[in-house]
């Protein structure tokens, strides 16, 4: 694979160019609902793709609200190619992960090939080239003023994908619709809106030449709301199982089940007895309020 140049300045120029061009390759950010709160998952989606053999996707988010946890290659490119992304380790630090030739390599520096393909080139990519806090001087290039707020930390995250090579040794280009990559974030501050931005995506042909692209939906904002879910041991429905629920059951202990006290029959066996008290005691301290996200 020819080494891509993904410095901050090059990405800035690329995004400024692609955002004003129109072609068939329409890239959008889409919410992926297949993730349970308090996580948010988004797809970098390509519609009307023509001759796409590789990409460099760039995401911006507020690191005081969201924590990046993972990225997966989407279904647009054939399997077995190259996928490079930041990787969250068990010790809560990040490194690089590179899928190539069916093998995953890890390291703060990842080598894309055994030998540099350019005489003066370097085939290594550093974590800081793909995952970094955006300098204040460049925030205006990536973050609209409506998303700026005091105390925020705006981070940029890149993922790189390339199709497997054909028998001629060139990445296989695809004409289709599909997902380039899926990224997942953990919500660490549910009190603030969580936004994820797509300033731009670089698309490449099988000859490693840039393709024109058009940006569709470029932002997703998630607002956390709390919904009380029916829970049998939360007798009074206040969102938490506590001494008040135990007292409710104890106050009608041994009484026949009626419309007035039926909630105290926690296990719905037709009796209010020790089994109901045990059920409440086992859930003591649990919250019955479920977080959910409104996605815009």
* Tokens 């974590």 found at: 127
pLDDT in tens, the chain (296 residues): 443 333 333 443 344 444 444 458 999 999 887 766 678 899 999 999 999 999 999 999 999 999 999 999 999 999 889 999 999 999 999 999 999 878 899 998 887 664 444 445 567 889 999 999 999 899 988 999 888 888 899 999 999 999 999 988 899 999 999 999 999 999 888 888 889 999 989 999 999 899 999 999 999 988 766 555 567 888 887 778 888 889 999 999 999 988 888 889 988 888 999 999 999 888 888 876 655 666 76
29 Cβ partners below 8 Å, 6+ apart? 42, 43, 44, 45, 196, 197, 198, 216, 217, 218, 219, 220
Phi, psi of 13 (to 5 degrees): -65, -40
Quick one: how far is CA 204 from the chain centroid? 23
The model carries a pTM of 0.71
């Amino acid at each position: 694979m020819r080494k891509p140049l993904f410095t901050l300045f090059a990405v800035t120029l690329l995004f400024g160019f692609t955002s004003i061009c129109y072609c068939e390759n329409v890239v959008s950010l889409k919410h992926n609902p297949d993730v349970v709160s308090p996580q948010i998952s988004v797809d970098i989606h390509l519609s009307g793709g023509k001759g796409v053999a590789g990409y460099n996707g760039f995401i911006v988010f507020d690191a005081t609200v969201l924590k990046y946890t993972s990225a997966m290659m989407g279904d647009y490119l054939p399997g077995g190619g190259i996928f490079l992304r930041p990787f969250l380790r068990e010790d809560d630090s990040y490194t690089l992960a590179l899928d190539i030739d069916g093998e995953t390599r890890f390291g703060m520096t990842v080598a894309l090939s055994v030998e540099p393909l350019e005489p003066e080139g370097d085939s290594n990519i550093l974590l800081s080239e793909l995952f970094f806090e955006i300098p204040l001087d460049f925030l205006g290039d990536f973050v609209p003023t409506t998303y700026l707020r005091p105390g925020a930390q705006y981070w940029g995250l890149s993922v790189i994908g390339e199709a497997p090579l054909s028998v001629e040794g060139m990445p296989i280009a695809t004409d289709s619709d599909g997902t380039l990559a899926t990224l997942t974030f953990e919500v660490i501050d549910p009190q603030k809106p969580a936004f994820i931005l797509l300033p731009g995506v670089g698309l490449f042909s099988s000859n490693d030449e840039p393709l024109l692209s058009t940006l569709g939906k470029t932002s997703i904002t998630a607002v956390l709301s709390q919904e009380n879910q029916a829970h049998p041991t939360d007798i009074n429905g206040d969102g938490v199982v506590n001494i008040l629920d135990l007292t409710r059951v104890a106050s009608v202990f041994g009484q026949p089940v009626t419309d007035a006290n039926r909630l105290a029959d926690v296990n719905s066996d037709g009796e209010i007895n020790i089994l109901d008290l045990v059920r409440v005691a086992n859930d003591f301290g649990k919250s019955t309020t479920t977080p959910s996200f409104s996605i815009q």
